[in-house]
Amino acid sequence: MNDVTRQYALALFSLAREAKSEKVVEAKLIELKDVLTEEFFSLMRHPLIRKEEKKQFLTKITEDLLIRHFLFVLVDNDRMDDFPDMITDYQNLITSANQLLRATVVSKSALTEEQRSRIQSKLEKDYARSVELEEQIDPSMLAGFKILFEGFVVDTSAEKKLADLKANLKK
């Protein structure tokens, strides 16, 4: 991420906010990010493929006019390679604007609704912000979970507790 990608993301965010569709645009961007492959980016970089042909291809992969026109601008300015970073910058702008705390919970298996609710409530209370949780499953974990957000890690995993116990026994 850099100033250029942030400026593009800010432009898209401003247009989405004007249309009151920031979250819809975010969902569509994430959807696009998940399907765009390295082959796609190679195609977008290819010097023998005209920009008009690239735009025709983009027209086929997204129906959303705002995103389509945004992608057209990226093609015109030879910035398609920066698109994934622009999506991340866009998400960061939404987070900042909404005072949203995005947290990832890593656990051995899917959280129950009660666990999810307790974690979310605790984070909302401690940080006085709305919380959006994402779950990641790590089958290699023994038990417990890790919560990652804004550069912090809250580790209640069995592995962490065993490491702490081992360190205390060595003292």
All structural domains of the chain with their residue ranges: 3-95, 100-170
| CATH domain 3-95 topology | Peroxidase; domain 1 (1.10.520)
Beta strands in 30-151 (DSSP E): 100-107, 130-137, 145-149
Q: Tell me the pLDDT of the chain averaged across its residues.
A: 87
The answer to whether 109 and 140 have CB atoms below 8 angstroms apart is no
CATH 2.60.40 fits 100-170, yes or no: no
* 51-55: average pLDDT: 92
Work out whether the CA dihedral 28, 107, 161, 142 comes out positive or negative: negative
Given a cut of 80, whether residue 97 has pLDDT beyond it is: no
CA separation for the pair 138, 124 (Å, rounded): 25
pLDDT: which is higher, 73 or 2: 73
User: Looking at residue 1, what is its pLDDT?
Assistant: 59
pTM greater than 0.85: no
pLDDT tier at 67, thresholds 50, 70, 90: very high
CA separation for the pair 52, 93 (Å, rounded): 30
